[in-house]
Amino acid sequence: MKRSILVVLATAGLVSTLLSPAMAQVAYGDSKAVETVTNEFGSTDLQMIAEKMVGSLVQDPILDGRPTMTLSNVKNKTSEYIDTKSIMNTIQTTLVKSRKVKFVRSMDEMQNGTDELQRQNQSGLYKSAGKAKVGNMTAAKYTLEGEIVSIVKNNGATKDVWYKMTLKVYDVEGGSVEWQEEKEIRKTSKM
């Protein structure tokens, strides 16, 4: 009896809802393929933003001489959760690989660095010759920060979402904006 019900459900295309997650089919996809599952912020949007920002920044003379830079926060001013740290990590990774800029620890990462310096210098476990010296960290000349905003319009039949990412490089000492770029993305879906 159970087998015949399963056959009927399978022919109706409903068997997948009855199967456990362990039996579901999983396939790898292209991580660079355009993702259009929803009109919410997604992997394609992150990749387009990072590509635009890095492409613009590496062409700018501000990076002549391979200056030091640190990451600041990206303010999420949208109505949805967006992992802004992931956007900045992607941008930082590409910039580091370009060898055009050196990154120093960000505010979020600084505690780990100071903890390691204290461990090496105050625990008594390390030879003097091999210890990292306190007071020798390189300061950032520039900080990279930004914001992402969105406008959402919905008339019941169509939902339109517009995103804008703005990224700025500030001179730490002088406070001036030395570089700025924006990337806009519009996504529309029919209900």
Nearest to 45 by CA among 4, 1, 78: 78
pLDDT at 129: 84
Q: Delimit the domains of the chain by residue range.
A: 39-109+137-191
Among 61-65, 67-71, 80-84, 180-184, the range scoring the smallest mean pLDDT is 80-84
pLDDT at 98: 95
| pLDDT, tens only, 40-61 | 676 677 788 889 988 999 999 9
Instruction: Say whether pLDDT at 11 is over 80.
Output: no
DSSP assignment letter at 135: T
CB 114 within 8 Å of CB 128 = no
Q: Class of 39-109+137-191 per CATH?
A: alpha beta
Please give the C-alpha separations between residue 67 and each of 41, 57, 88, 140, in angstroms, as whole numbers.
32, 12, 18, 8
Q: How far apart are CA 26 and CA 20, in angstroms?
A: 13
Our measurement of the distance from residue 28's CA atom to the centroid of its chain's CA atoms, rounded to an integer in Å, reads 21
pLDDT at 5: 45
Would you mind telling me the total number of residues written for the chain in this entry? 191
The set of residues, in sequence order, having a beta carbon less than 8 Å from that of 32 and lying 6+ positions away, is 47
Question: Residues 156-177: what's their mean pLDDT?
Answer: 92
Which residues lie across from 181 on neighbouring strands? 167
| pLDDT, tens only, 81-120 | 988 888 899 999 999 999 999 999 888 888 888 888 888 8
